[in-house]
């Protein structure tokens, strides 16, 4: 039985995790008007003119709602990262849909007043989108407007893959993503990744060059942790003119803890299984002057047999 180890490496992810908080504030106001008089007070008589002014309705009350959609109808070369916005005056939004062929509707958010909507996820490149919005005014009669536009065709596209599957892994396994194109806007790619764990985990993303991104926990994954991640790469500009066209998602489970602590001085290793010492075995750590470097290594492959020969092996 043999295995291939991978150096842990270290680095600052730079991107970090971000949380967005939405706060809705409600303000209630009370306007009170009072009049008082005496038997000798003089009040202005109510004339036909003042009566008509008091009962007049705003001029816009009878007008239908006005809808504005951005990007404008028949727009082309629209950036996939651009927000789609819909606004209405003299009314409130009843429904907004943003769709493209072969995909689910794009999600969006409506403001508290019901007068403005904007998309909340990036668009896809090389797609035609259709926006349909409906608003209703004081009269209650709805107004619907439809607009279509096309996103730009990128110079190149970005895709990602992972070696992980729906399996059980050890407590040291990293999340490994490999990209088909060099990533320049690393922060944007990191922000697009959503990571969920069933137990609290502190860790960071680490770039190995421009095409490989790993997530490592600070120490080890807690035993029996369930992990799920989604890389929302659709529409993300990873480099100038390079956009993601597909998302990547995966889930897996962490099994029992199995950790080996090796001493290059004594040439012995201690095996800990489920946090308890299981064995104390002699090992070879390389020839004199070519000892294995100090650090944390991960066993990410296994085979039987595996021939380990060459300089440093005995």
141 vs 117, which has greater pLDDT?
117
pLDDT at 313: 58
Whole-angstrom distance, CA of residue 176 vs CA of residue 159: 14
Give 314's pLDDT tier (boundaries 50, 70, 90). low
Give the C-alpha separation, 30 to 42, whole Å.
28
pLDDT of residue 121: 87
Percent over 90 (pLDDT), the chain: 63
Residues 6+ apart with CB under 8 A from 272: 257, 258, 259, 260, 261, 278
Model pLDDT for residues 189-240, shown as the tens digit of each residue: 999 999 999 999 999 999 999 999 999 999 999 999 999 999 999 999 999 9
Q: Exposed, middle or buried: residue 298 (CB in 10 Å: 0-12, 13-18, 19+)?
A: middle
Note the pLDDT of residue 264. Answer: 84
Answer whether residue 43 shows pLDDT above 90. no
More confident residue, 64 or 3: 64
Q: Mean per-residue pLDDT for 117-122?
A: 94
Residue 47 has pLDDT above 80, yes or no: no
d(CA 232, CA 236): 8
184 vs 5: which has the higher pLDDT: 184
How many CA within 13 A on the CB side of residue 252?
20
H/E stretch holding 303 reads strand 297-303
- Percentage of the chain lying above the pLDDT 70 cut: 79
What is the Rg, in whole angstroms, of the alpha carbon atoms belonging to the chain?
32
What is the rounded average pLDDT of the residues 256-281? Answer: 93
**Residue 33 pLDDT grade (very low, low, confident, very high; cuts 50, 70, 90):** very low
pLDDT digits 0-9 by tens, 199-211: 999 999 999 999 9
SS3 125: coil
């Amino acid at each position: 039985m043999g295995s291939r180890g991978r150096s842990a490496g270290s680095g600052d992810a730079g991107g970090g995790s971000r949380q967005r908080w939405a706060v809705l504030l409600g303000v209630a106001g009370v306007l009170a008007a009072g009049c008082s008089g005496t038997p000798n007070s003089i009040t202005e008589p109510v004339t036909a003119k003042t009566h008509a002014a008091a009962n007049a309705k705003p001029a816009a009350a009878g007008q239908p709602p006005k809808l504005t959609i951005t990007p404008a109808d028949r727009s082309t070369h629209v950036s996939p990262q651009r927000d789609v916005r819909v606004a209405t005056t003299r009314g409130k939004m009843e429904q907004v849909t943003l769709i493209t062929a072969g995909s689910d509707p794009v999600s969006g958010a409506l403001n508290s007043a019901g007068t403005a909507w904007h998309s909340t996820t990036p668009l896809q490149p090389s797609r035609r989108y259709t926006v349909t919005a409906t608003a209703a005014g004081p009269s209650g009669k709805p107004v619907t407007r439809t607009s279509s536009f096309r996103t730009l065709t990128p110079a190149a596209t970005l895709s990602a893959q992972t070696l992980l599957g729906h399996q059980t892994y050890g407590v040291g396994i990293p999340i490994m993503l490999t990209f088909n194109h060099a990533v320049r806007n690393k922060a944007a790619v990191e922000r697009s990744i959503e990571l969920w764990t069933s137990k609290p985990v502190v860790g960071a993303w680490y770039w190995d060059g421009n095409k490989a991104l790993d997530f490592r926990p600070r120490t080890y994954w807690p035993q029996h942790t369930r992990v799920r991640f989604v890389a929302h790469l659709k529409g993300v500009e990873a480099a100038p003119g390079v956009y993601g066209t597909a998302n990547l998602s995966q889930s897996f489970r962490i099994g029992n803890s199995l950790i080996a602590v090796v001493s290059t001085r004594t040439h012995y290793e201690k095996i800990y299984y489920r946090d308890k010492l299981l064995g104390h075995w002699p090992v070879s750590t390389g020839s004199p002057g070519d000892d294995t470097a100090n650090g944390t290594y991960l066993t990410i492959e296994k085979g039987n047999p595996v021939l380990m020969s060459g300089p440093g092996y005995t």
